[in-house]
Amino acid sequence: MPTYVALLSWTEQGVRNYKDTTKRAETFSSAVQKLGAKLLTIYWTVGPYDLVAVVEAPDDETASAALLQLGGVGNVRSTTLRAFGREEMERIIAKAAG
């Protein structure tokens, strides 16, 4: 399944409700599963992003739907990256090389 890395920044609402952040992560994990995806891990970070989530989803549409649901709650804004594992990258290189 494709992997997605979501870089998350708290909104003002998210910061005000910081005490609920671990519960919100559990809720996000459940919501992702209902869409047929999986939250692999979530990290709370220091720096330009407040959290980093790693999600597996069957396709871009499912990943986008999960992150739209998350953003729609109003606690975070996201920047999402499609990540490629080693085997995927080897296939990409083989295609590029002809």
pLDDT in tens, 9-27: 999 999 999 999 999 999 9
Report the predicted TM-score, pTM, of the whole model to 2 decimal places.
0.92
CATH number, domain of 66, equals 3.30.70.920
What domain range includes position 13?
A: 3-97
Structurally, the chain folds into a number of domains equal to 1
Secondary-structure percent of the chain, ordered helix, strand, coil, rounded to 5: 50, 30, 20
Over residues 49-88, the pLDDT tens digits come to 999 999 999 999 999 999 999 999 999 999 999 999 999 9
Contact 57, 37 (CB under 8 A): yes
Angle of CA points 33, 35, 40, to nearest 5° = 40
